[in-house]
C-alpha cells in the first residue's frame, strides 16, 4: 500500500504540469474541466506566467491544485493508483484539498470551487503589507514556541514543517522586529516569506469562519482511503472528523512533522509526492529515514 502527499503554496512554478498536458489527454480534459468550474484561464497563468498571477494567493492555490490533479490523473493508469493501492492521503495546507479530490472524497467541481473561495478569502483576509510569515531554520517547533513564550513575542507557529524548519505568522512589524531575538537563540536562518498575509494564524479566523459555512454545504463521499489531517495530525476515515478538521485548518498550525510521524507510526513505508516541485520529499527526509519516497512532478519522474 502507498501514501500519497500533495504540496501547498510555495511549490508553484511557471510551466508546472505542462509536459503532462502535452502528452496525456486526461490532463488536457482535467484542465478544461477545472477552468469551466472556476471560470479562470488557468493555462495562461500556469503555462505563460500571465502577469505573474501564479504568485497571487487567489490564483496560486487553484494553480497548484490543478497541476497536482493533472499529474495524479495522468498517473492513475500508469501506476495503478486507486482505492486498492492507496492507503492514506495527506496534503500540506491547500494540498489537503487536493488529497480530498484525488481520493474521491470530494468531487472535482466542489473541490475546485471551495478552493477558489479559500484562495480569495485568504488573499483578502488582511490589508496588504500588514501581516506576514517567516521561516526559521535550525530548531524544532517546541524550541521555537519556548522562545516565543519566554520573550512575549506576538507570533504564532503556522507550519511545523520538519524538526529543523518552522514557519511563524503575525503582524509584519512583529515579524521584522523579532528577527534578532530568534537569531540570538540559536536559530540559524530567519527568512521573511513572500506571502500576502499571515496564513494559519488568528489573522485567518474570520476567513475560516466564512469558509467553514461553505464546507458545511459540501457532499463528502466515503471510501477505503484514509486522510491525515493538518489540524489534528491524526489519521481518519470518518467524514465527520475530516470535515471538522478541515473547518479548523486555515487559522491553525499545519502539523506536518507530526503527520509524517503518524505515517511512520501506522507502518507506512512507501510515499509518493505528486505535484509541482519536490518540497515535501525534502521535508519528509528530515523528519524520518524510514520511508521509500518517490516525487513525481515531470514525466521523466515516472520512467
pLDDT at 51: 85
Total number of residues shown for the chain: 303
Over 80: is that where the pLDDT of 34 sits? yes
| Annotation: CATH topology of 2-125+202-302 | Malonyl-Coenzyme A Acyl Carrier Protein; domain 2 (3.40.366)
pLDDT per position as a tens digit, 269-287: 999 999 999 999 999 999 9
CATH topology of domain 131-192: Alpha-Beta Plaits (3.30.70)
Residues 6+ apart with CB under 8 A from 266: 88, 235
- Report the catalytic residues: 93, 200
Per-residue confidence (pLDDT) for residue 196, from 0 to 100: 84
Domain range summary for the chain, segments of one domain joined by +: 2-125+202-302, 131-192
pLDDT digits (tens, 9 = 90+) for 187-208: 999 999 988 899 999 999 999 9
What are the residue ranges of helices labelled H in 79-222? 95-102, 108-124, 141-150, 172-177, 179-183, 205-215
Confidence at 80, pLDDT banded by 50, 70, 90: confident
d(CA 87, CA 223): 11
Of the pLDDT bands very low, low, confident and very high (cuts 50, 70, 90), residue 83 is: confident
Q: Is the pLDDT of residue 303 over 80?
A: no
Amino acid at each position: 500500500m502507498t501514501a500519497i502527499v500533495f504540496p501547498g503554496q510555495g511549490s508553484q512554478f511557471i510551466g508546472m504540469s505542462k509536459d503532462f498536458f502535452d502528452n496525456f489527454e486526461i490532463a488536457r480534459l482535467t484542465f478544461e474541466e477545472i477552468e469551466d468550474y472556476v471560470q479562470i484561464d488557468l493555462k495562461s497563468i500556469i503555462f505563460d506566467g500571465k502577469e505573474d498571477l501564479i504568485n497571487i494567493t487567489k490564483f496560486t492555490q487553484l494553480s497548484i491544485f490543478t497541476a497536482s490533479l493533472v499529474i495524479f490523473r495522468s498517473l492513475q493508469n500508469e501506476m495503478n493508483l486507486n482505492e486498492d493501492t492507496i492507503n492514506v492521503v495527506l496534503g500540506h495546507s491547500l494540498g489537503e484539498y487536493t488529497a480530498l479530490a484525488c481520493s474521491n472524497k470530494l468531487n472535482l467541481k466542489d473541490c475546485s470551487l471551495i478552493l477558489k473561495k479559500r484562495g480569495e478569502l485568504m488573499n483578502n483576509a488582511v490589508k496588504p503589507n500588514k501581516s506576514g510569515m517567516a521561516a526559521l531554520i535550525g530548531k524544532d517547533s517546541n524550541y521555537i514556541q519556548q522562545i516565543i513564550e519566554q520573550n512575549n513575542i506576538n507570533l504564532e507557529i503556522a507550519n511545523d514543517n520538519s524538526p529543523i524548519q518552522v514557519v511563524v505568522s503575525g503582524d509584519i512589524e512583529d515579524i521584522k522586529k523579532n528577527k534578532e531575538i530568534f537569531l540570538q537563540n540559536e536559530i540559524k536562518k530567519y527568512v521573511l516569506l513572500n506571502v500576502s498575509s499571515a496564513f494559519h494564524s488568528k489573522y485567518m479566523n474570520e476567513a475560516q469562519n466564512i469558509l467553514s459555512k461553505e464546507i458545511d454545504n459540501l457532499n463528502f463521499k466515503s471510501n477505503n482511503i484514509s486522510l491525515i489531517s493538518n489540524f489534528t495530525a491524526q489519521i481518519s476515515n470518518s467524514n465527520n472528523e475530516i470535515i471538522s478538521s478541515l473547518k479548523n485548518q486555515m487559522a491553525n498550525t499545519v502539523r506536518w512533522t507530526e503527520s509524517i510521524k503518524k505515517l511512520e507510526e501506522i507502518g507506512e513505508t512507501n510515499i509518493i509526492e505528486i505535484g509541482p516541485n519536490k518540497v515535501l520529499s525534502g521535508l519528509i527526509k528530515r523528519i524520518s529515514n524510514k520511508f521509500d519516497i518517490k516525487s513525481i512532478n515531470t514525466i521523466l519522474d515516472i520512467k
